[in-house]
Amino acid sequence: MYLFAAVSTNTMVKLVRIITCSLSSIIYVSSFAIPHHKRRITSSLNAADKEQQLHLLTFDLDDTIFPITPVVNDANIAQLNTLQSKFGYTNACNQEIIAASKQIRTELRETNTSITYTDLRKLSIKREIERVSGIQSSIIDTSIIDYTFNAWLTERHASADRNIYPHTISALQNIKEQYPNCIVGAITNGRGNPLDMPSIATFFDFCVSGEDDGVFPQRKPEKGIYEAALRTYNDLQQVQEDSTFNWIHVGDDLANDVGASAACGAKAVWFKMEDEDDDEIPLWSTATKEEREKREALDQMAKKHVSASICSLKELPDAIVQVQKI
């Protein structure tokens, strides 16, 4: 008390300013001494932001990002052109290749043997070459089969890129802007891959296929393919999150996409176009009547897991907001 009493008013003011500036510097420096990703802000606004954070968004591809029927039709035309024009099998026929696929599936079903779609198509191409050429299967040049399959696959991606559903790109742009840290992936049973589709490749971080090593034969609606996607997500994320994991899956198939993803922890958005005919069977489908009936039963059970339903991808950004409130 006596010390401060002896100090002049001007001196006291200077001392207060020095102490205030020193404390401000300490606080300023301390804030930068904490790594950015480890900072914790406890305001109510930040807590709300965390609740709305989207960690993982996954998509089915066929009939979700693009219509599969025209895509496969285009790929089949490329396949046939390759056999006829490149290799001279002028009598080759796509209908015969499809018939061969169904016959192979029947044969394998009798021995309870699984086969990838890639191997099924290559075997079908091989049988068609055998049919039109009379060459024994054992001496057919496998490089011709591989070349023809690659022509089919290349056109499949090209056609998918040309036939992307309206609003897909704008929806993906909107979502990336709204959730910049969200990892976006594709989960598909077949050979489609958005990373091979230039118009949307930049929006996707990964693709998991039912054909992948470590996945097959655990394709949809089995859990294995979704578990593989979650492992990929864990490998890709840069910082371990401390908030509740928020994963949304979007797809057109009730059993494969809605029910199966929900069983693995996702919130499912069902994409169903208004003019879609559920009873229409694609000409290239090799599913049996029994398999279709089993699928219909799974579809009915999956309906209870629909978190949101959309008929256009332009509705997806709003649907994501609503789903996160559930």
For the chain, list the domains and their CATH numbers. Answer: 55-66+166-277+285-323 (3.40.50.1000), 70-161 (1.20.120)
**How far apart, in whole angstroms, are the C-alpha atoms of residue 173 and residue 202?**
10
Confidence of residue 279 (pLDDT cuts 50, 70, 90): low
* Distance in Å from the first CA to the final CA of the chain: 62
C-alpha dihedral, 316 to 318 to 323 to 326, nearest 10°:
-170
Would the pLDDT of 44 be above 60?
no
CA distance 273 to 66: 11
CA 187/CA 191 separation, integer angstroms: 10
The letter for the amino acid at 130 is: E
Q: Could you read off the pLDDT of 148-193 as tens digits, one per residue?
A: 999 999 999 999 999 999 999 999 999 999 999 999 999 999 999 9
* Those residues with Cβ within 8 angstroms of residue 10's Cβ, 6 or more apart along the chain or in another chain: none
Q: What is the pLDDT of residues 284-310, one digit of tens each?
A: 566 777 888 888 999 999 999 999 999
Q: Is the peptide bond before 282 cis (omega within 30 degrees of 0)?
A: no
What share of residues in the chain are helix, strand, coil (percent, to 5)?
55, 10, 35
| CA–CA distance, 252 with 95 (Å, rounded to integer) | 27
Instruction: Judge whether residue 24 has pLDDT over 90.
Output: no
pLDDT tens-digit profile of 65-118?
A: 999 999 999 999 999 999 999 999 999 999 999 999 999 999 999 999 999 999
Q: How many whole angstroms separate alpha carbon 39 and alpha carbon 36?
A: 5
Amino acid 121: pLDDT: 98
- Distance CA(17)–CA(85), nearest Å, equals 88
- Compute the distance between CA of residue 145 and CA of residue 150 in angstroms, rounded to an integer: 9
Q: Are 168 and 317 a contacting pair, CB within 8 Å?
A: no
pLDDT of the residue at 276: 59
Instruction: Please give the Cα distance from 73 to 98 (Å, whole number).
Output: 12
For the entire predicted model, the pTM comes to 0.81
